[in-house]
Amino acid sequence: MENKTSVTEFIVLGFSELPEMKLFLFMIFLCLYFFTILGNITIIIIVTFDSALDTPMYFFLRNLSFLEICYTSVTIPNMLVNLCLEESKVSFVGCATQLYFFLLFAVTERFILCIMAYDCYIAICAPLRYSTIMNRKICIKLSTLSWVTGICVSLGHTTFIFTLPFCRSNVIHYFFCEIQPLLTLVCGDTYWNEVQVILAATLVLILPFALILVSYIYIVSTILKMPSTTSQKKAVSTCSSHITVVTVFFGTALFMYIRPKSSYSLDTDKWISLFYSVITPILNPFIYSFRNKEVKGALKRISMKINCTKI
């Protein structure tokens, strides 16, 4: 296998097929990255310094915001560099490192979203036991478990992909080192490799998605049994933000990973992957928080404290 692996570096094409749009795409992605970082840092600061938001939901939201910052920082800065160069090269180790961290943050985020669904389930279906079940120790353990799972899965995935023999080409028709475009560069019949990738993807995609789905089946059942319309609306508003993010994130990810290599269209996949790697992270602060009355109240309180300090 080592003799077959003649590739020592990769050429990342990015959006080279659109040379006339490079400047436009650069400005768009730069603005998206700036507002993603700004929005998620704002959420982290608000949740950290406002005691009223010291709840399990906002504890996991802070984790999610941190993941979004890391997640976008793995891909977007490289995209910006690629748009400035005619040909962008990355070493074999550099490509493996990028894939590892991309998978680490992506997998961890999926399990954090799964835990947030569980949090919604407890809040709506067992409100009297909520503070007992979702105590701080449990929240820390669940968060740690998500990170450990992300580390193990990303390490296994990356090791598996980069021990395959690359000898067809070193040109990645994508904007970063992703699993699908890398598989197209592998020598020989990759059927069983694809099967293993799909099985691993099933573990980190279908499992959390199934748990989220089960949680919402119970949540919907409980909401329908509520006596007042006001209670139903309040319960729905609690879950609506989470449902929106889950739909966008898991929908595009499931389409990307749970299918054979023969159905890949790298040009199409490249644009679809922008939804979960670029668009979703910038939407999260707005979907989860800036529409939220509690966060708006916290933002006002922090602003007042800053103004009082200046005075």
| DSSP 8-state assignment for residue 171 | E
**Residue 111: is its pLDDT beyond 80?**
yes
Please, what is the average pLDDT of the chain? 80
Q: In this predicted structure, what is the pLDDT of residue 217?
A: 87
Q: Is 90 helix (H, G, I), strand (E, B) or coil?
A: strand
Q: Which amino acid is at 21?
A: M
Nearest to 298 by CA among 16, 57, 13, 21: 57
Average pLDDT over residues 199-210: 78
What mean pLDDT is predicted for residues 137-161?
91
Could you give the residue ranges of the DSSP H alpha helices within 162-292?
179-183, 191-225, 229-257, 266-274, 280-284
- Cα 54 to Cα 130, 260, 290, 294, 295: the distances in Å are 14, 44, 17, 11, 12
Closest C-alpha among 120, 109, 112, 111 to residue 239? 120
Residues recorded for the chain = 311
Which whole number is the average pLDDT over 239-268? Answer: 65
| pTM exceeds 0.85 | no
In the structure, what pLDDT confidence band is assigned to residue 2 with cuts at 50, 70 and 90? Answer: very low
